[in-house]
Chains A and B, each alone.
Chain A
Amino acid sequence: MQFFICLIFLFVLLVYGQYSPPSATYSTQQVPYNWLTLAFVGSNDYLPRPHYHSTDREHFKELCRRLDGLNPNQQALCAENPFSIPFVARGVREAIRECENKFKFERWNCSSRDEVTETRHGKFQDILGKTLRSANKEAAFLNAIMAASIVHSITKGCNTGNLTECGCDSKPGMQRYQAESDPSMSRDQFSWGGCSDNVPHGIRYAKKFLDDWETAQFDKTKNVAHLVRRHNNFVGREAIAQNIRRQCRCHGVSGSCEFKTCWLQMQKFSQVSDLLKKRYDHFAVQVTRKATKRLRRKERTERKIPLRGNEMAYVHRSPSYCEKNLTAGILGTSGRECIHNSYSSESCDLLCCGRGYNTRLEIRQTQCECKFVWCCEVKCKTCTEEVAVHTCK
């Protein structure tokens, strides 16, 4: 009998041992992993001050633990490089802004109904979470642009000297790059100089921040969504790596190009997002629902062709995004502003999914008949005009 009680006791201990104390994992149990919430991390809430406990790793760890939505890998990376997190956050903000710009006139306008949960560290908003976790085309775009934004902003951080663990690229010749468009310039001898963008470091960081977790999860669960996400992260990084340009400056006698110094530079982020939007529009490939090692195209005749770095991958076809569906986080196009007399996707017919539109008259004040008055002033009149605003039903 005593033996029996002992056994039960042991069993209870074992079961409890499986769970860690609830207070410690409060946030991780409540909220899903969504690192886009870093968008809310301003420099005020998160300040890893170097002079304060600068050697104390525990302090950084604690700071990182407060960032809800980071997965354990990202938490570790944060504790290792605490100063990189504000750059990641800046990247996310920029990526969301670009995404909203590029999708302004489409049925999915890079918005979703985000759930907000109360955690120990404040409010947690699951930014674009439902879209991000589904494996459709929009998720593919989001993953790609987010990965690109990390590479971009970390690289910029290295370049400007705000990040201590990296600097300008010392071996720019090792990178893939495109020389200037002018062929007469590219033939000349040149020496590397200036500060080349350290894209390889940005890529390494983004890989660690995003890919390691997906790889580990895929090995564990064999869920193809992880592979898809990893691939789309790769597409995002490639969008930057494929478009590095060599910039040069001549400093021969009176500006001749006898001596030339060159350095490497990334494209502007808006151009990168343009490129990714094109890939979303034209180079998105549906892949099979199951995969053992690598992604395979769904199209039977093309199964053998591996996915390229400019092709986004998705598993499920997207919903129409026309009607509101709060469980899926879809806001619907009702109430969206549309453009009359247009034939592209922002036209009232297409954006409103055939439901029609309402017209409202708005009085707008604009400055008009501006004149330059000597010296030095510009005087304008205010004109009121009535503008018809169309919104979807």
Chain B
Amino acid sequence: MLKSTQVILIFILLISIVESLSWLALGLAANRFDRDKPGTSCKSLKGLTRRQMRFCKKNIDLMESVRSGSLAAHAECQFQFHKRRWNCTLIDPVTHEVIPDVFLYENTRESAFVHAISSAAVAYKVTRDCARGISERCGCDYSKNDHSGKSQFQYQGCSDNVKFGIGVSKEFVDSAQRRVLMMKDDNGTSLLGPSQLSADGMHMINLHNNQAGRQVLEKSLRRECKCHGMSGSCEMRTCWDSLPNFRHIGMAIKDKFDGAAEVKVVKEDGIEKPRIVMKNSQFKRHTNADLVYMTPSPDFCESDPLRGILGTKGRQCTLAPNAIDDCSLLCCGRGYEKKVQIVEEKCNCKFIYCCEVRCEPCQKRIEKYLCL
């Protein structure tokens, strides 16, 4: 009896875990959000959990920002990984749904990255849209302006309202993690099987990584000032905090991905909440802004459709040793083939008076290397 419930439980958990990223396909939803009809607008969206659906209906005005956040997250992930064995293939281009990459739900390093970048991206886009005045509910953040600066007159600029963005991200992205069903037996004590603990742990890890992404965002706030004293002197100035380009945040999170810590989740007696601890205690403990993972990643060399791994066959590589997309590394030692393409280009262009530009057609040889 117990066994069969466990099997069902695992099944439910698997489905729920798979959903933890499926909202990322939101960016490809074609229809616009109709603020007057939140119900129908939200229902047409794919991949939202019940809590996210509730969020959508309540905050339809923020959904445009959330959608652009999911787009930015996907684009940034693809940019950061385009030269690597796993090139961040998340969304099926035909069905516009998130590919159920199983390894992404096993708390690998890659999954940590995707969680962090997506929660950071939603917070980023909501914050930016606030500063632009798109949403009525949020504006500039004036709380951070201090008047103890060096100059006499300091005016408050419009600081990016990161707090609001982070709050929205917390609400929306973290709701993608379903609450774990707590099974209680007749005496009221919780039944924590190994699978239950691991599922609990998986959610903890995902939430940690979501939070880490937002922390990176918060730390990347930079103070910018504009001086408007006499002939540009800084007697008077306006200062505000602003977020850098999203590429910077992507780089910072990619950096966290490289230094991610392998952890395990331990449940100690007497303490209700399990804890995340380092697997190897000799290494430096992770901070709140560091990514963590539990399962070592596969090598991504051979395709494994069941686990959502495409393999590196047919990928383009370069012949630079020590590079990350070096053919011998990217092709996993299988070798590569050279493809020569002849491309027609315009060259020797001349300006002829008046007003014409004449070019000659040229043939250019392009060499490409593809993994076997």
Contacts and interface: CB of A to CB of B under 8 A. Distances in A.
Interface residues of A, number: 25
Secondary structure dominating the interface of B: loop
Interface stretch (B7-15, B53-61, B125-133, B254-262): B254-262
Interface stretch (B70-78, B89-97, B316-324): B316-324
Interface stretch (A126-134, A244-252, A318-326): A318-326
B282 interface: yes
Contacts of B259: 340, 348, 356-359, 390
Contact of A360 (B255, B284, B323, B329): B284
B324 A356 contact: no
A106 interface: yes
Greatest chain A CB density within 10 A among B84, B324, B327 is at B324
A24 B253 CA distance: 64
Interface string A343-377: 00100111011101111110000000000000000
Nearest to B85: A354
B242 to A, nearest CB: 23
A226 interface: no
B322 A107 contact: yes
A350 B330 CA distance: 12
B333 A319 contact: yes
A107 B85 CA distance: 18
A319 B327 CA distance: 9
Contacts of B322: 106-107, 345, 350
A341 B85 CA distance: 22
Interface in B232-278: 255, 257-261
Interface residues of B, number: 22
A353 B324 contact: yes
Nearest to A341: B255
A388 interface: yes
Nearest to A353: B329
B84 A320 contact: no
A107 B326 CA distance: 12
B258 A388 contact: no
B312 interface: no
Pick from A106, A345, A357, A358 the residue with the most CB of B within 10 Å.
Answer: A358
A360 B283 contact: yes
A133 B323 CA distance: 25
A106 B321 CA distance: 9
Nearest to A281: B321
B85 A360 contact: no
A317 interface: yes
A357 B326 CA distance: 20
Nearest to B329: A320
A358 B258 contact: no
A356 to B, nearest CB: 5
A348 B321 contact: no
Interface string A377-388: 000000000001
A320 B283 contact: no
Contact of B284 (A317, A352, A359): A359
Interface in B277-322: 280, 282-284, 321-322
Contacts of A340: 259
B161 interface: no
User: Which of B260, B321, B327 has most A Cβ within 10 Å?
Assistant: B321
B283 A350 contact: no
A350 B324 contact: yes
A376 to B, nearest CB: 43
Given A322-B329, A348-B259, A361 B284 contact: yes
B170 interface: no
B239 to A, nearest CB: 28
6 contacts: A317-B328, A348-B259, A350-B323, A354-B84, A358-B259, A358-B261
4 residue pairs, one from A and one from B, having the closest CB atoms:
A320-B329, A320-B328, A345-B322, A359-B284
Interface of A: 106-107, 137, 317-320, 322, 340-341, 345, 348-350, 352-354, 356-361, 388, 390
Interface of B: 84-85, 109, 255, 257-261, 280, 282-284, 321-324, 326-329, 333
Given A317-B328, A319-B328, A360-B284, 20 more contacts: A137-B321, A317-B327, A318-B328, A320-B321, A320-B326, A320-B328, A320-B333, A340-B259, A345-B322, A348-B258, A348-B259, A349-B324, A354-B84, A354-B85, A356-B259, A357-B258, A359-B259, A359-B283, A361-B284, A388-B284
